[in-house]
């Protein structure tokens, strides 16, 4: 499992609250986050939506949800058993999901290495006895929320994201939106 980036405050697992809302994700560099944020701002007038903050942009591999903090070591143990060979993601289209009114950046073509990473992670979570909602993986980076109306999928100049690690993230939902902290 990779070490957390110094740009994100590391949070101690033994914290004061009994529960944590967590997920595994690919976390882009600030440069990639800024490129994605620029795409969101470019399309925002057309989508009439709220643009996500650059520092929150990520690609969720597996949402776990609320768990007891005492169970976080199971997640870490599962993740430690998953190899992450370096690969490149090529994000080059923006699309829309009507059911939750989000616009997102995604791939034009399948990425078998990404699918294999998610499958390996899920297998290790099961082996560690971690319970999670097993939803179909659909690689995306949410760029905007509260999209006013559906629009067609559109291409944008490709953003090539070099991936060599994934992270475990805690999500705290506040009245000012989500705040994320990389746990490991």
What is the three-class DSSP state of 136?
A: coil
What is the three-class DSSP state of 50?
A: strand
In a domain, 3, yes or no: no
Residue 77 lies in domain: 20-182
Kindly state the average pLDDT of the residues 126-150: 91
Asked if 51 and 44 count as a contact pair (C-beta separation under 8 A), the reply is yes
pLDDT at 175: 80
In a domain, 10, yes or no: no
102: nearest Cα among 24, 44, 55? 44
In a domain, 119, yes or no: yes
pLDDT greater than 60 at residue 1? no
Domain count, the chain: 1
pLDDT at 133: 82
Question: Which residue carries 């944020």 as its tokens?
Answer: 37
The torsion defined by the Cα of 143, 148, 151 and 153, in degrees rounded to 10, comes to: 10
23: nearest Cα among 103, 142, 144, 109? 142
Asked if 87 and 109 count as a contact pair (C-beta separation under 8 A), the reply is no
In a domain, 90, yes or no: yes
CATH number of 172's domain: 3.90.1140.10
In a domain, 5, yes or no: no
With a CB cutoff of 8 Å and minimum separation 6, the contacts of 70 are none
With a CB cutoff of 8 Å and minimum separation 6, the contacts of 167 are 2, 4, 24, 25, 26, 27, 182, 183, 184
Tens of pLDDT, residue by residue over 20-67, are: 999 999 999 999 999 999 999 999 998 889 999 999 999 999 999 999
Higher pLDDT, 76 or 5: 76
What average pLDDT does the structure give for the chain?
Answer: 89
In a domain, 13, yes or no: no
In a domain, 14, yes or no: no
Task: Give me 123's structure tokens.
Answer: 């297998």
pLDDT at 8: 35
In a domain, 131, yes or no: yes
What is the three-class DSSP state of 122?
A: helix
Asked if 161 and 91 count as a contact pair (C-beta separation under 8 A), the reply is yes
């Amino acid at each position: 499992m990779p070490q957390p980036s110094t740009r994100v405050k590391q949070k101690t697992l033994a914290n004061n609250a009994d529960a944590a809302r967590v997920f595994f994700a690919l976390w882009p560099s600030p440069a990639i986050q800024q490129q994605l944020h620029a795409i969101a701002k470019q399309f925002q007038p057309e989508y009439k939506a709220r643009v996500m903050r650059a520092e929150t942009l990520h690609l969720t591999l597996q949402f776990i949800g609320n768990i007891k903090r005492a169970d976080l070591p199971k997640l870490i143990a599962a993740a430690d058993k998953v190899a992450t060979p370096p690969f490149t993601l090529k994000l080059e289209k923006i699309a829309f999901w009507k059911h939750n009114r989000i616009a997102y950046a995604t791939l034009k073509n399948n990425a078998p290495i990404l699918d294999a990473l998610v499958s390996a992670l899920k297998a290790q979570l099961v082996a560690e006895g971690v319970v999670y909602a097993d939803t179909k993986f659909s690689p995306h980076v949410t760029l905007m929320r509260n999209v006013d109306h559906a629009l067609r999928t559109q291409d944008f100049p490709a953003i090539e994201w070099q991936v060599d690690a994934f992270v475990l993230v805690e999500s705290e939902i506040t009245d000012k939106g989500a705040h994320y902290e990389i746990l490991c």
